[in-house]
Amino acid sequence: MSKLLFLHTPHFTPKKLHTKTFSAIVTQSLTPLHCKCRLLSFSLNTTTTRSNSHLLSQIHYYHRSFSVRSFDDSSSETKIQEPQQQAVVNEDYESRGKSKDEDEYPSGEFEYEKFSAWKIFTVKLRMLVAFPWERVRKGSVLTMKLRGQIADQLKSRFSSGLSLPQICENFVKAAYDPRIVGIYLHIEPLSCGWGKVEEIRRHVVDFKKSGKFIIGYVPVCGEKEYYLACACEELYAPPSAYFSLYGLTVQASFLGGVLEKVGIEPQVQRIGKYKSAGDQLTRKTMSEENCEMLTALLDNIYGNWLDKVSSTKGKRKEDIERFINDGVYKVERLKEEGFITNVLYDDEVISMLKERLGVQKDKNLPMVDYRKYSGVRRWTLGLTGGGDQIAVIRASGSISRVRSPLSLSSSGIIGEQLIEKIRKVRESKRYKAAIIRIDSPGGDALASDLMWREIRLLSESKPVIASMSDVAASGGYYMAMAAGTILAENLTLTGSIGVVTGKFNLGKLYEKIGFNKEIISRGKYAEVLAAEQRPFS
């Protein structure tokens, strides 16, 4: 079985991190004669779980530099991610007395390192020759509005919507950009999963290590939004803000009774008692196994929420829970209890920033928004890497083998397209390793198996790491099993707990409406799927 690690998985490489880094994982198989420890080996013989690590955050090993190229599954065109920066591991595992038989995992702790005078000079020269759309006024505040859907794929300059890789990358670039003095973060209702929120929150925390300010503003806020917002140094809300910190729920609805009334009998066959995908059609109430599973997930997310919020705000978990259980409250009470910094309108926050930064009242606060700043290349800021490249292959959405005529060009994981990209990476000599980035609830079993095969072939020739986002379940988890190492966020929903198939028996419905269907066939099992008016024998 592959190694399964519950670790942090960002999309890019900060300037400098702990000596235990992702590069030590990726390049171990590349330089076996130099490696002095069995660090996340790519053999498929152990299972390991661990949390609180920042893994895909540095790509280097023994003065060896790498770049990252990203392949998006959601488009037939290959999107290339700019190269990352060069860095160096400062300490050898052997010097710390580690045995080669010990499993040693990178802490990935982010460390902000100021540029040297020469590096600053080089960056200034690059800014002089930067493209016009990369020009940013000195002393600017980066503004990002996070709301709605956040895609796991890269977005072009002309695409709408938010991109998780670009959001996270902007935090890193802003930390090192001498033109950026801080970040003003607008947070509104989010439609993404907890895994993405966890990753963005971690980058908020990392950004603060640069010494620059980061201020949050929340006009509408629930548990997910507050989980992210409370990581900011200061947090403001307008007097009329909608706050709903009431706790978390999970829900399951059932159509078994409805289908029974209209004469439809769902016949679902499954393997795995926790496979609940067919329960919505066949049952009228929640099964014990499904209840157990959802309760465990809810307890995990809610417990993590209490832990992070209480530690960030310096409160006891009991006090946080008491506040939530009090129910209805006014926004002013959030300030009194220390949940927000102050009650201010957006223009008042901007006026406050102008005063802090010494901007005259009749002048505009210099600002650059998320979309423009996403166009600033890492090269311009001196964060690029060397010639060797690591491919990031992104697989997001439900899984199907081929694209249907009615599907959109950006809908889901198309097996045959992803396989083509995996083969391209396997056959290319410039890619020294690969990361399979997965954000998928599963889907077609055949497509999942074919992609598993290609990932397995890739892992036989190059180091391959599977990185999980919001969800990697069923077929999504199956794909990941072909990699030697699997990484997940603390709040990633992952696992493969069974398979399900079935059909609707419409016999009683046909009787009610007076419909009849007769079949002439040859072959004992010819009617197994054609005869929807009869149950399975």
| Catalytically annotated residues | 474
How far apart are alpha carbons 105 and 7 in whole angstroms?
10
Backbone angles phi, psi at 484, to 5 degrees: -75, -30
Cα 475 from Cα 445, distance rounded (Å) = 6
- Residues sharing a CB contact under 8 Å with residue 525, sequence separation 6 or more, in sequence order: none
| CB atoms near residue 14 (< 10 Å) | 30
- In DSSP terms, which residues pair with 434 in a beta bridge? 391, 464
CB 280 within 8 A of CB 253: yes
Quick check: 155 and 77 in contact, CB under 8 A?
no
Torsion angle defined by CA atoms of residues 32, 38, 42 and 45, in that order, rounded to the nearest 10 degrees: 140
The residues near 357 (Cβ < 8 Å, ≥ 6 apart) are 139, 141, 181, 365
Is the Cα dihedral 203, 209, 215, 216 positive or negative? positive
How far, rounded to the nearest angstrom, does the alpha carbon of residue 485 sit from its chain's CA centroid? 17
Can you name the residues that pair with 145 across neighbouring β-strands? Answer: 186
Tokens of 527: 């009617």
509 with 263: CB under 8 angstroms? Answer: yes
Q: How many contiguous H segments (helices) and E segments (strands) does the chain have?
A: 16, 22
Residue 357 CA to residue 172 CA, distance in Å, equals 22
Nearest CA to 433 out of 38, 26, 22 is that of 26
